[in-house]
Structure 1
Amino acid sequence: MASPITQAMKQIADEKGIAYESVLETVETALAAAYRKDFGNKNQNIRVEFDPEKYDGHTGGIRVFDVKSVVEDMELDENYFERLEASTAPKQDKDRPREKPEEKKPEPEGKKEDGLTEGEEEFKFNPKTMIMLSDARDLKPDAQIDEEIRVELHVPAAFGRMAAQTAKQVILQKLREAERSVIFGDFKGREGELMNVIVQRREGRVVLIDLGRATGILLPEDQIETERYYPGTRIKAVLRQVEMTPRGPEIRLSRTSKQLVTALFAQEIPEIENGIVEIREIAREPGSRTKVAVATADDSIDPIGSCIGQRGTRIQTIIRELGGEKVDVIEWYEDPAEFIRAALSPAKVSAVELDEATHLATVKVAADQLSLAIGKGGQNVRLAAKLTNWKITVVEEGGRVVGDSETMEFDLPEAVESDEDAPESAEESQHKAEERAEEPLEGAATAAVIAAEAVPEGEEEKEEEVKEGKKEDEQKEETPSVTE
Structure 2
Amino acid sequence: MEATSGMPRPELLQVADAVAREKGIDRDEVLGAMEQAIQKAGRSRYGHEHDIRAHIDRKTGEIRLARFIEVTDDIENDFTQMSLEQARIRDENVELGEFLIDPLPPIDFGRIAAQTAKQVIVQKVRDAERERQYNEYQDRMGEVVNGAVKRVEFGNVLVDLGRTEAILRREELIPRETMRQGDRVRALILDVRREQRGPQIFLSRTHPTFMAKLFAQEVPEIYDNIIEIKSVARDPGSRAKISVQSSDSSIDPVGACVGMRGSRVQAVVAELQGEKIDIIQWSEDPATFVVNALAPAEVTKVVIDEESNRIEVVVPDDQLSLAIGRRGQNVRLASQLTGWDIDILTEEDESERRQEESRKRAEMFIKALDVDEVIAHLLVAEGFTSIEEVGYVPLAELAEIEGFGEELAEELRGRARGYLAEEAERLQTRRGELGVADDLIEFPGISLAVAVQLGENGVKNLEDFADLASDELIEFAGPTETITLDQANDMIMEARRRLGWFDDLEEETGEAGAEGEDA
TM-score (structure 2 length as normaliser):
0.63
Does 1:356 pair with 2:362?
A: no
Q: Structure 1 205/150 Cα, relative in aligned 2: closer, same or farther at 3 Å?
A: farther
Q: Structure 1 328/168 Cα, relative in aligned 2: closer, same or farther at 3 Å?
A: same
Residue of structure 2 aligned with 1:50, choices 53, 56, 63: 56
Instruction: Please say if residues 87 and 100 of structure 2, whose CA atoms lie closer than 8 Å, have aligned partners that are also in contact.
Output: no
Q: Percent identity?
A: 43
Aligned-partner SS, 2:109: coil
Q: Structure 1 274/157 Cα, relative in aligned 2: closer, same or farther at 3 Å?
A: closer
Shift of 1:26: 1.2
Distance 2:108 2:60 in 1: 15
Does 1:292 pair with 2:242?
A: yes
Question: Match of 1:49, as an amino acid?
Answer: H
Task: Tell me what 1:163 maps to.
Answer: 113
Question: Match of 2:156, as an amino acid?
Answer: V
Distance 2:338 2:321 in 1: 20
Does 1:394 pair with 2:344?
A: yes
Instruction: Please say if residues 42 and 107 of structure 2, whose CA atoms lie closer than 8 Å, have aligned partners that are also in contact.
Output: no
Aligned-partner SS, 2:180: coil
Does 1:262 pair with 2:216?
A: no
Aligned-partner SS, 2:348: coil
Aligned-partner SS, 2:22: helix
Instruction: Please say if residues 393 and 401 of structure 1, whose CA atoms lie closer than 8 Å, have aligned partners that are also in contact.
Output: no
Structure with higher RCO (Cα < 8 A, 6+ apart): 1
Distance 1:54 1:318 in 2: 57
Instruction: Please say if residues 73 and 133 of structure 1, whose CA atoms lie closer than 8 Å, have aligned partners that are also in contact.
Output: no
Does 1:64 pair with 2:14?
A: no
Task: Tell me what 1:381 maps to.
Answer: 331
Task: Tell me what 1:322 maps to.
Answer: 272
Task: Tell me what 2:47 maps to.
Answer: 40
Residue of structure 1 aligned with 2:196, choices 215, 239, 246: 246
Instruction: Please say if residues 209 and 232 of structure 2, whose CA atoms lie closer than 8 Å, have aligned partners that are also in contact.
Output: no
Q: Structure 1 321/156 Cα, relative in aligned 2: closer, same or farther at 3 Å?
A: closer
Aligned-partner SS, 1:9: helix
Does 1:4 pair with 2:5?
A: no
Residue of structure 1 aligned with 2:137, choices 177, 184, 187: 187
Instruction: Please say if residues 2 and 53 of structure 1, whose CA atoms lie closer than 8 Å, have aligned partners that are also in contact.
Output: no
Q: Structure 1 157/220 Cα, relative in aligned 2: closer, same or farther at 3 Å?
A: closer
Aligned-partner SS, 2:39: helix
Shift of 1:297: 2.5
Q: Structure 1 137/283 Cα, relative in aligned 2: closer, same or farther at 3 Å?
A: farther
Distance 1:172 1:278 in 2: 48
Task: Tell me what 2:23 maps to.
Answer: 16
Show the 5 A alignment for 1:136-215.
Answer: 136-145=87-96, 147-155=97-105, 158-215=108-165
Question: Match of 1:371, as an amino acid?
Answer: S
Show the 5 A alignment for 1:126-145.
Answer: 130-145=81-96
C-alpha RMSD of matched pairs (Å): 2.4
Q: Structure 1 39/353 Cα, relative in aligned 2: closer, same or farther at 3 Å?
A: same
Cα offsets for 1:276-307 (capped at 9, x unmatched): 11111111111111111111232111111111
Instruction: Please say if residues 35 and 159 of structure 1, whose CA atoms lie closer than 8 Å, have aligned partners that are also in contact.
Output: no
> For structure 2, which runs of at least 5 residues remain unmatched after alignment?
1-7, 353-519
Task: Tell me what 1:346 maps to.
Answer: 296
Shift of 1:126: 5.0
Shift of 1:68: 4.8
Distance 1:227 1:178 in 2: 36
More helix by share: 2
Show the 5 A alignment for 1:439-450.
Answer: none
Aligned-partner SS, 1:4: helix
Report the number of matched residues. Answer: 345
Instruction: Please say if residues 63 and 152 of structure 1, whose CA atoms lie closer than 8 Å, have aligned partners that are also in contact.
Output: no
Task: Tell me what 2:318 maps to.
Answer: 368
Instruction: Please say if residues 136 and 149 of structure 1, whose CA atoms lie closer than 8 Å, have aligned partners that are also in contact.
Output: no
Larger Rg: 1
Aligned-partner SS, 1:280: strand
Task: Out of 347-356 and 185-194, give the one that drifted further.
Answer: 185-194
Shift of 1:160: 2.4
Question: Match of 1:165, as an amino acid?
Answer: Q
Question: Match of 1:63, as an amino acid?
Answer: R
Instruction: Please say if residues 67 and 148 of structure 1, whose CA atoms lie closer than 8 Å, have aligned partners that are also in contact.
Output: no
Instruction: Please say if residues 395 and 401 of structure 1, whose CA atoms lie closer than 8 Å, have aligned partners that are also in contact.
Output: no
